[in-house]
Amino acid sequence: MKAAIVNAFDQPPRYDEIDAPLAGSGEVLVHVRAAALSQLVRAQASGRHYTSGKTLPIVPGADGIGLLENGTRVYFAFPRAPLGAMAEIVSVNARYCVAVPDGIDDITAAAIANPGMSSWAALQERAHFKPGERVLINGAAGASGRLAIQVAKHLGASRVVATARNPAVEAELRALGADDFIRLDQPVEQLTAALREEMQGPGVEIVLDYLWGQPAACILDALVGHGSGSAAPRVRFVNIGALAGATLPLNPGVLRSSGLEIAGSGLGSVSNEDLVKIVGRLLQAARPANLKIEAQAVALSEVESTWRRSGSERIVFTM
């Protein structure tokens, strides 16, 4: 069968032949129709992610849309290594498949699943979000951040504040549901002051952080209290990504003087089976909630030339 094959971690995959899998115990074969290229998939294929395979060759792809042998259209995730989702046929644990609603096409379903799940899982599974709470989304300009705005609003957030480095995206993020916008392209002192004004004014119960690095450090510094005598309000900070760097300076005074609780959301902190169930709920909500994502379909045969393409659209490879 045809697949995208990684033969070197520092090179893009090549479109080539590889043996088709057989279903093992508890597994089903999925005939793949669409698989999205996400930051997660790129990181895994480069050997840089904590879930990356170490033995080559591998086929990249964390999830996708396909057909079971009985014709049922499903979303699937975590195909059995070394064959990831960017192959014509994959073998998948039957518990890692969920039916796709009729009202959503293959490309949209494949594009929306991973980025939409990132915020849905962080809010419900890690932050234990309650309707009416206020959410700050740090790094809202990308596909995941834009969906995080929409997901938070759909789940009942009373206020959503978005941050982004490029001030030109403010209008777009507000159109998706953001109630306010904070620019990250300002000096550290000014950014921290703007964040503190948000924290001490309208207030924030949950932070969804896609950036880490200096922007996250400014958020944490904005939480530092001054011993008013009352317990500081609880703030659940959930890290999802590290696009701004893998480290940050942490003032221990933040931990002592605020209601800060730090957690992460990703592979390992939420079970694979629960993540698939979350995607199932996301896909059911996509049409009623009018969730939006920009996606571009590309034939898998073009994987090598497309792999490093950047842009706001989520690339979805089709078989």
* 106 and 64 in a common domain: yes
Residue 31 pairs with which residues in a beta bridge? 67, 89
* Residue 58: inside a domain: yes
* Residue 286: inside a domain: no
* 182 and 74 in a common domain: no
Total domains present in the chain: 2
* 33 and 160 in a common domain: no
As a whole number of Å, the CA-based R_g of the chain is 20
* Residue 280: inside a domain: no
* 236 and 297 in a common domain: no
51: amino acid identity, one letter = T
Give the residue numbers spanning the domain of 214. 114-264
* Residue 135: inside a domain: yes
Give the CATH number, domain containing residue 18: 3.90.180.10
Q: Among 221, 249, 264, where does a domain finish?
A: 264
* 255 and 118 in a common domain: yes
* Residue 275: inside a domain: no
Q: Among 218, 247, 264, where does a domain finish?
A: 264
* Residue 202: inside a domain: yes
Q: What is the pLDDT along the chain (319 residues), one digit of tens a residue?
A: 999 999 999 999 999 999 999 999 999 999 999 999 998 899 999 988 888 777 899 999 999 999 999 999 999 999 999 999 999 999 999 999 999 999 999 999 999 999 999 999 999 999 999 999 999 999 999 999 999 999 999 999 999 999 999 999 999 999 999 999 999 999 999 999 999 999 999 999 999 999 999 999 999 999 998 666 788 899 999 999 999 999 999 999 999 999 999 999 999 999 999 999 999 999 999 999 999 999 999 999 999 999 998 877 899 999 9
* 259 and 175 in a common domain: yes
* 153 and 64 in a common domain: no
Residues whose CB falls within 8 Å of the CB of residue 63, separated by 6 or more in sequence, listed in order = 35, 36, 75, 76, 77, 78, 85, 110, 113, 114, 279
Residue 316 pairs with which residues in a beta bridge? 36, 297
**What per-residue confidence (pLDDT) applies to 311?**
76
How far, CA to CA in Å, does 153 sit from each of 121, 131, 133? 14, 9, 10
* 258 and 118 in a common domain: yes
**What per-residue confidence (pLDDT) applies to 48?**
83
* 259 and 125 in a common domain: yes
Tokens of 55: 């033995």
* 242 and 119 in a common domain: yes
* 7 and 74 in a common domain: yes
* 161 and 34 in a common domain: no
